[in-house]
Structure 1
Amino acid sequence: MNNQVIDEFISPTPLNVRRLPPLSSLRAFEAAARHASFKRAAEELAVTPTAVSHQIRALEESLGLALFARAVRQVRLTEAGAQLYPVLQQGFDAFEAVLLRLRQPNRRAQVTISATNAFTAKWLIPRVAGFHALHPQIDLQLHASDEAVDLGKRQVDIAVRYGRSPYPGLVAEVLFEDSYAPVANPLLRVASAADLATVRLIHFDWKSASPTHPTWDRWFAHAGWQPDAALGQLRYSDEGHAIQAAVAGQGVALLSLAMVAQELASGQLVQPFGPAIAGHAYHLVTRADHGPAAATSAVLAWLRSQAPPG
């Protein structure tokens, strides 16, 4: 074997070498994108806003791309930044979750989620077992209330708010948009809007008045259908009770398709006709004065993974 062959045999060949920007630059970008603020990112990272700006500028120069459009007291993601942010956010969430398990293998973390009664009962509870299978070291505590909780005063880590942003003083992101359509027990044999004259319309009360709420009046206007003034009605003070009434065959209800997804899949309810109208959006809301703990980040990542595709 000649010397050239020997050198090639023993010389290390770099395999699977990652060519990534410095982690500090990626962390600065992810925090600034999450907060939509260099100042708040700096507070989370315990550095100055100037340091965050320099880190992000260095990252942009290494990529040859602008990640933020900068204005006075405001920054927003460019198209390139919007593509990079969710990938980094999910990656850092995963890092935190694994490090939590490594550092505290015998300590159980607890994360409290506050949400409306209907969202807790119909969307969260059916998914809790799946979460615990993925994260057996984290205990979930569910706080169900139709009243918005003060995250600064209650021991609540994550709130799921239903409505329209902004939420001043809080960090909020859209979990998913909602839509409403008429649903009924299939035994009622409701097949078209004309059949509404033969059944009761199930209503439920909203906690506040707004013309944007998905109500029967909005649905009829959107559908271009003039309701009969003599239509029978059944009204509940709670959305969950309206869902139960629809399943029981007490009438046709205009309900969130996300909240009755299981009933539709099992055949307990059917959506016999449209149209569906837009509801509001479910938002994940956390405190803005500090970043979420590792366990909270793991729950946020899981909630995002459960959201219907967009």
Structure 2
Amino acid sequence: MARKLPPFAALRAFEALARRRTLQDAADELLISSSAVSHQVKSLETFLSAKLVTRTASGLILTPIGRKFVDGLGDALDRIEAATLAVLSTRQHGVLKIHLFQSLAQSWLIPQLADFMSTNPDISIRTHTMQDDVDLSGTDIDLAIAFFDGKPDNPNATEKLIDEKIFPVCSPKFIETHGAITSPTDILRHKLIACSYTPDEWRIWLEAVGVDASNIGPPQLMFDKRSHVLQAADEGLGIAMERTPFSSVMIKRGQLIPAVDIRIATGAGYYLVAPPRSLVLTHVKQFRAWLRTICADEGAVSPK
């Protein structure tokens, strides 16, 4: 008996529209016109004899039937994509595409990549560091190292890699020049460096270690990238606030040291985000195993 299936182009158009929420965004993903997306969705509704999408004042929304249909459709397309990529991966060298913060790539991942490349010479790395939401559906990105403030709301967050902890760091030369820091209170005698994305981090850390921070002003040096915060500390410009794991490599190399080694967990952390289609690929498995090993040094996971 022949399968009763609608045209595949119509399925792709509807699934992209359900995910992206606007005709134009779905069209941009599929590299077709918005009118073509609308036509494909209407043809699917005709095939099913059911209304899948309705237009409201706030835009397009799925009908109850549309929501039920897309739940199963997304899983089916993921399985088709996984099977396709599994075949392709046996016929070409692995190209691993990773999404992560620019500063995390610069300060933490890139300095350690030589170790991975030495044991996996046939795998090529491509990084994507755009500041956008981690949604790997409909893209060719294999995985992401993503930050979540609390429990992840992403179903593809497969495992926690690193628990975020904050603590002050400075260069050894800074200590030589300004003298030893023997208590958290001593911190207030020096120039503080912070990131503009987390402007309250110094107050949070000081209060957590029992120092009254009610009168503390904004840090004298503020940068919009964590890598620049740590670079300023490396240059001896002051004391920076580390958020694990950004300074891990610099600490291992002796460029930075904890000014006061009291590490406060924020409750946030970094997770591996990977759709089912990626987890079956050999080069993803190899990178995942290596990632667990280097993250074990951060105290959140153990090698498996």
Map residues 1-310 of structure 1 onto 2, 5 A cutoff. Answer: 104=91, 107-163=92-148, 164-189=150-175, 190-191=180-181, 192-206=183-197, 215-227=201-213, 228-229=215-216, 233-279=220-266, 280-288=268-276, 291-309=279-297, 310=299
SS in 2 for 1:112: strand
Q: Once the two structures are aligned, what percentage of the paired residues are identical?
A: 25
C-alpha distance 268-169 of structure 1, shift in aligned 2 (>3 A): closer
What is the TM-score normalised by the length of structure 1? 0.60
Note if contact 1:114-1:142 (Cα within 8 Å) is conserved in structure 2. Answer: yes
Distance across 2 between alignment mates of 1:204 and 1:286? 28
Amino acid paired to 1:218: I
Greater Rg by CA: 1
Note if contact 2:159-2:271 (Cα within 8 Å) is conserved in structure 1. Answer: yes
Kindly state the Cα deviation for residue 100 of structure 1 after the two structures are TM-superposed.
9.6
SS in 2 for 1:258: coil
C-alpha distance 152-185 of structure 1, shift in aligned 2 (>3 A): same
Note if contact 1:197-1:231 (Cα within 8 Å) is conserved in structure 2. Answer: no
Note if contact 2:160-2:269 (Cα within 8 Å) is conserved in structure 1. Answer: yes
Distance across 2 between alignment mates of 1:256 and 1:206? 12
Kindly state the Cα deviation for residue 178 of structure 1 after the two structures are TM-superposed.
2.4
C-alpha distance 169-194 of structure 1, shift in aligned 2 (>3 A): closer
Q: Give deviations 1:15-37, integer Å, cap 9, x for gaps.
A: xxxxxxxxxxxxxxxxxxxxxxx
C-alpha distance 129-196 of structure 1, shift in aligned 2 (>3 A): same
C-alpha distance 197-291 of structure 1, shift in aligned 2 (>3 A): closer
Q: Which residue of 2 aligns with 1:12?
A: none
Amino acid paired to 1:162: F
Distance across 1 between alignment mates of 2:186 and 2:278? 54
Q: Give deviations 1:158-216, integer Å, cap 9, x for gaps.
A: 00111233233424211121211111122332513233233211110227x9xxxx811
Note if contact 1:286-1:292 (Cα within 8 Å) is conserved in structure 2. Answer: no
Query: Which blocks of at least 5 consecutive residues in structure 2 are unaligned?
Result: 1-71, 80-85, 300-304
Note if contact 2:226-2:246 (Cα within 8 Å) is conserved in structure 1. Answer: no
Note if contact 2:93-2:123 (Cα within 8 Å) is conserved in structure 1. Answer: yes
Kindly state the Cα deviation for residue 296 of structure 1 after the two structures are TM-superposed.
1.7
What stretches of structure 1 move > 6 A for 4+ residues in a row? none
Note if contact 2:192-2:221 (Cα within 8 Å) is conserved in structure 1. Answer: yes
Query: Which blocks of at least 5 consecutive residues in structure 1 are unaligned?
Result: 1-38, 47-96
SS in 2 for 1:307: helix
Note if contact 1:171-1:288 (Cα within 8 Å) is conserved in structure 2. Answer: no
Q: Give deviations 1:211-266, integer Å, cap 9, x for gaps.
A: xxx81111111111013536752111111111111111111111124221222223
Distance across 1 between alignment mates of 2:201 and 2:88? 45
What is the TM-score normalised by the length of structure 2? 0.61
Distance across 2 between alignment mates of 1:237 and 1:281? 20
Amino acid paired to 2:167: A
Q: Which residue of 1 aligns with 2:82?
A: none
In the alignment of these two chains, the number of paired residues is 213
Amino acid paired to 1:198: R
Kindly state the Cα deviation for residue 120 of structure 1 after the two structures are TM-superposed.
0.7
**What is the root-mean-square deviation of aligned Cα atoms in Å?**
3.3
Distance across 2 between alignment mates of 1:293 and 1:300? 11
